[in-house]
Chain A
């Protein structure tokens, strides 16, 4: 039984409206009010109304003072994307015992963020620490570290850490120096080596929280689906996983959920001896792992159904 907390914050609904009407810019400019769009939430109103055509074809009446240039909307979205969600600190728990390389998380991620081929934010590793230890599947999103090396080394502040724990990239700021990619010890960042050629929904306004569209010559990475979080929805990889491998939640609430089960974060850590990958690096990741004990699938099953091109990606997997 799923039920969401009803009190969706005013900020988030305002943001959604902002975005919805932001999408309407295309239609508006056809109507002759070029380069302007609508924005709700302004306190002083003149009362003068203007009729605008929204993208789904319905006529909306808005206050004249609410009309703002697109650029202002963009800046406003960017400011919000830098501020993050108030009083939240997100974390992820990945249960290695359940992962069998079904790759649904990767697919959902690619689809949801309109990522081009060969530009994958979510990666699945087949790890084996030593000859005498067991192999296991290791899904790797961005770790959203609390001491993020990638953010420290960014020369232009294109990538930044928000108070709610999420590390985002403003790909309109990124100069593509790739220093963050060498800085990240988890290879979580990927570069747009060529024009991504994504079909962007018409009138879409760029926002670091969706990071759509990808831009050639800039860096991308997992963003914990910051756009979904604002709508109180779980990240796409979490809901897509058929095994319920990935738990997500707010560490301040001490609760994580994989969409089906909801657990106390601290209890999960205690009962399953949760750990973070390479704690010794001191980057303080927000992603925790549960060791692959009492696994639900044999590790080999992860390659059974996959085609040759996927198998080829794990050819040199072995102890190291």
Chain B
């Protein structure tokens, strides 16, 4: 029982008290968020003229961020689903984080679509005048479905923890929180029958989440893939986007593991073993991702289709450094760091993950923007300053606001729920004791 108490105390560092550090960090993020809101108000007031988007590059940072956040979300689902389905032993401390990544980025992602559309006031037209032929409609349906599924899945994994927190009488929290735990735990007491129902439901939802994640991210890729634009019109885009999403999600998982470990002193629970394991996963995915990237660009480069050649030319001139960073450094460096046991330290793996995640964001950028800058008809007869895309401060501020909201939501969740699943950890202890 003492072990259990320690477990609860360690894994719920923010539930009882709120540190000044927490407030300061939250305030900083909130400041970024507020700047973003100011930018958004300006954009709504003055129109999209305040962004860097123009008639050729009609999609900019917002869409890049949208795909990026959606990618993080689906990958979180995929990681937690796969790890859960295959009963991977070391999954337990990280699975909750993956689930939270899923839900939080899934909430943030669509907001970037809201920033990108010209008439936010007509958003509900998507529901009252839907056209099934449009990939955007597929995406709307898919995201709604996914959001709902992820909430169920996350909730299923939370029930046991809420029950534990409810039963833990020494917990010093305000009464509303106690009441919340009581309601949310559904009166779960851990009988054989209840456990069986719960684990069954979780199994099915885990499988479902994997399937949906694949479908939904493919749908997102098809928004680009179905058009005729050079660089987008590619059959490989569906699987390519899925693997890229898992890549970014795994990277983010490592980063979050490092942050939580540092802040909440979870060294005991998240060990080097976890970093190496997730790191190896990242390497395997990086290999796949690199393979997809290579085959996509190779076929474009080898074939002599004019538009493809123009696009490749542009990527290797105007976008040279970004291209090299995204598709060489961003893929090879994490592989090298993790492949050699010598380099495998917690900080180095984290650095590799940071590189992977940033590179993936850049990869998204060079998928979206250069294609729009090379339309079939050369860009002429338009204002010369409207030809190339460069984001304005408003787009930057909203991007940062998105990241801030991600952090803020994580911080808020940590005030209510354990950041590592207590129930799973208990189970693990029991198994170890049995051995």
Contact = CB atoms under 8 A, between A and B. Distances in A.
A312 interface: yes
Contacts of A315: 384
A179 B133 CA distance: 13
B136 A155 contact: yes
Interface stretch (B220-228, B270-278, B396-404): B220-228
22 contacts: A123-B382, A124-B380, A124-B381, A127-B377, A153-B135, A155-B134, A156-B125, A173-B122, A174-B118, A178-B58, A178-B117, A181-B55, A182-B59, A182-B229, A185-B228, A185-B229, A186-B377, A187-B375, A217-B48, A312-B384, A313-B383, A316-B378
Among A138, A186, A191, chain B packs the most CB atoms within 10 A around the CB of A191
Contacts of B383: 118, 313
B119 interface: yes
Interface string B203-228: 00000000000000000000100111
Contacts of A317: 378, 380
Contact of A123 (B137, B140, B310, B380): B380
B56 A187 contact: yes
Interface of A: 118, 120, 123-127, 138, 140, 149, 152-158, 173-179, 181-183, 185-187, 190-195, 215-219, 278, 281, 283, 312-317, 320
A313 B123 CA distance: 36
A153 B136 CA distance: 7
Nearest to B135: A153
Interface string B41-54: 00000111100011
Contacts, number: 150
Contacts of B55: 181, 187, 190-191
B126 interface: yes
A158 to B, nearest CB: 8
Q: Is the interface of A mostly helix, strand, loop or mixed?
A: loop
Among A156, A215, A216, A218, chain B packs the most CB atoms within 10 A around the CB of A156
Contacts of B117: 175-178, 217
B265 to A, nearest CB: 46
Contacts of B59: 178, 182
A193 B375 CA distance: 20
Nearest to A119: B55
Contacts of A185: 228-229, 375-376
Given A149-B227, A153-B134, A191-B118, 14 more contacts: A120-B381, A123-B380, A125-B377, A125-B380, A153-B135, A155-B126, A175-B119, A175-B123, A175-B126, A182-B58, A278-B376, A281-B228, A314-B380, A320-B378
A148 to B, nearest CB: 11
Given A181-B55, A281-B228, A123 B381 contact: yes
Contact of A173 (B53, B125, B133, B372): B125
A77 B4 CA distance: 72
Contacts of B226: 153
Contacts of B97: none
Contacts of A152: 133-134
A187 B131 CA distance: 23
B47 A156 contact: no
Contacts of A181: 55, 58
B184 to A, nearest CB: 36
Interface in B109-130: 113, 116-119, 122-123, 125-126, 129-130
Contacts of B133: 152-153
A220 to B, nearest CB: 10
A216 B224 CA distance: 25
A18 to B, nearest CB: 25
Interface of B: 46-49, 53-56, 58-59, 113, 116-119, 122-123, 125-126, 129-131, 133-137, 140, 223, 226-229, 232, 306, 310, 372, 375-384, 386
Contacts of B56: 187
B125 A125 contact: no
Contacts of A125: 377-378, 380-381
Nearest to A103: B381
Contact of B381 (A154, A281, A313): A313
A156 B125 CA distance: 6
Contacts of B380: 123-126, 313-314, 316-317
A156 B118 contact: no
Nearest to A278: B376
B66 to A, nearest CB: 11
A9 B203 CA distance: 67
A158 B59 CA distance: 19
Contact of A217 (B119, B129, B227): B119
Contacts of A118: 382-383, 386
Nearest to B306: A320
A182 to B, nearest CB: 6
Contacts of B310: 320
A183 B225 CA distance: 10
Contacts of B228: 149, 183, 185, 281, 283
Contacts of A190: 55
B376 A153 contact: no
B378 A176 contact: no
A133 to B, nearest CB: 13
A173 B124 CA distance: 11
Contacts of A278: 376
Contacts of B131: 154-157
Contacts of B306: 320
A154 B134 contact: yes
Contacts of A154: 131, 134
Nearest to B124: A175
Contacts of B229: 182, 185
Given A175-B118, A191-B48, A155 B137 contact: yes
Among A152, A155, A174, A187, chain B packs the most CB atoms within 10 A around the CB of A155
A79 B119 CA distance: 23
A140 B377 CA distance: 10
- Which 6 A-B residue pairings sit nearest by Cβ, starting from the closest? A176-B118, A217-B118, A155-B136, A194-B47, A194-B49, A155-B134
Contact of B116 (A124, A177, A216, A312): A177
A171 to B, nearest CB: 9
A233 to B, nearest CB: 26
